[in-house]
Amino acid sequence: MNETNYYLEVKLSISEIKKEIWDEFNKQNNPFYKWTWIKNLELSNSVKRETGWQPLYFLAYKNNTKELSAIAPLYLKNHSYGEFIFDQSFARLAQELNLNYYPKLIGMSPYSPIEGYQFIYKENSKKLEITNFLIKNIEKFAKRNNILSCNFLYVDDSWGNYLKKSGYYDWLNIRSEWIAQGEKTFDDYLLRFNSNQRRNIKRERKSIVNKNIHIQTFTGININAGILKDMHYFYEQHCLKWGIWGSKYLTSDFFKNSIDNKEDLLIFSAYENHSNEPIAMSMCVKNNKNLWGRYWGCNMEIDNLHFELCYYKPIEWAIANNIERFDPGAGGKQKRRRGFYAKSTKSFHKWFNTGMENIISDWLAKTNKITFDEIEIENNSIPFIK
């Protein structure tokens, strides 16, 4: 590769990149990598240097035409919160080796463990050449600024091959996913389960009806400022329940500004009796084929309401709207009992210290095998008809 083909610029905010250019380059139909979504994170002060997410956009330009060829969105982080890939053992190892683990470079959509991260490229560009140029310069930036590691999380499957060729180590983690199998109704979906679990799910759903709780669904033009304000309240309440462990990453302004992305949102709201005041809400993000569960909260503890708002209603909606896959969010082996498969997700890492890299690379080879086996065990535990 001839490096003189390109030159590099680094921007500190997505507002320094024209929306039209980002939209032209970004061919993914992934709401979490839209210019408007990422801009909202910055504009709402959910993502900024003070919250530990300093945006760094590495831009590759062609030398001869000064034409932008690709964008690599990264963040400089001084903590590991909001990643949902837990690297505390790496941080402890760095401490034992007398190395500073933070700051570190991260590539992902902030606070969203959503697969699909990659650089975005101008159409018909030389992807391998440009990727090599960007990665080489990102690593130069890291070494020049005494940054120990570069990490790309929830990477697009095929794009990860570029990172492997550049010496990055892959780390398997587990996520959950519901996959459509041609069902026409929720009752069709229940036929996947053995008779005992079918009864359990029906009982859980019936308990909500018996408490005179009804659910309303809001999407697109039906979502307004009041609904988003309520959603922030429930999100905040849920985070407060966990005290210092609560993941209260998003500001009220993020939810307020999300009106600009309402075509990507799906909100379920629960009401008691004939009241117009919601008692719980969940918010999903969608495109034409995928659904992602993101946030939820309630102001009273009601058995099975979480399952109804975060699992069953979204699955019902997914079936009715020809959604192929539903990712309900991070964590929770209880999702297996409700029909969510365990799936692997890959992150890619490089450490700019030989001692640390050697130790972790040995560990990764072993732990990835354990994770692979764990996925098989978890999926065998799903109470489907064998």
User: Do 149 and 48 fall within a single domain?
Assistant: yes
pLDDT attached to residue 330: 82
Alpha helices of the chain — where are they, by DSSP H? 19-25, 35-43, 88-96, 127-144, 160-165, 186-190, 195-210, 225-241, 252-257, 305-307, 313-320, 354-380
Residue 215's identity, in one-letter code, is I
Q: In degrees, to the nearest 5, what angle opens at C-alpha 303 toward C-alphas 300 and 308? A: 95
Q: In degrees, to the nearest 5, what angle opens at C-alpha 329 toward C-alphas 109 and 263? A: 65
Q: Residue 329 domain-assigned?
A: no
Domain count, the chain: 2
Give residue 91's domain range: 3-173+344-380
Question: What is the distance between the alpha carbons of residues 293 and 267, in angstroms, rounded to a whole number?
Answer: 10
Question: What is the distance between the alpha carbons of residues 339 and 293, in angstroms, rounded to a whole number?
Answer: 15
In this predicted model, what pLDDT tens digit does every residue of 152-198 receive, in sequence order? 999 998 999 999 999 999 999 999 999 999 999 999 999 999 999 99
pLDDT attached to residue 1: 45
Q: Residue 331 domain-assigned?
A: no
User: Do 142 and 270 fall within a single domain?
Assistant: no
User: Do 19 and 152 fall within a single domain?
Assistant: yes
Which residues, other chains included, contact 140 with Cβ-Cβ below 8 Å and sequence gap of 6+? none
Q: Residue 305 domain-assigned?
A: yes
In this predicted model, what pLDDT tens digit does every residue of 51-107 receive, in sequence order? 999 999 999 999 888 899 999 999 999 999 999 999 999 999 999 999 999 999 999
pLDDT attached to residue 246: 59
User: Do 155 and 26 fall within a single domain?
Assistant: yes
pLDDT attached to residue 16: 98
User: Do 154 and 10 fall within a single domain?
Assistant: yes
Q: Which residues of the chain have pLDDT under 70?
A: 1-3, 243-246
Q: Residue 335 domain-assigned?
A: no
Domain containing 354 — which CATH number? 3.40.630.30
Residue whose structure tokens are 């919160």: 81
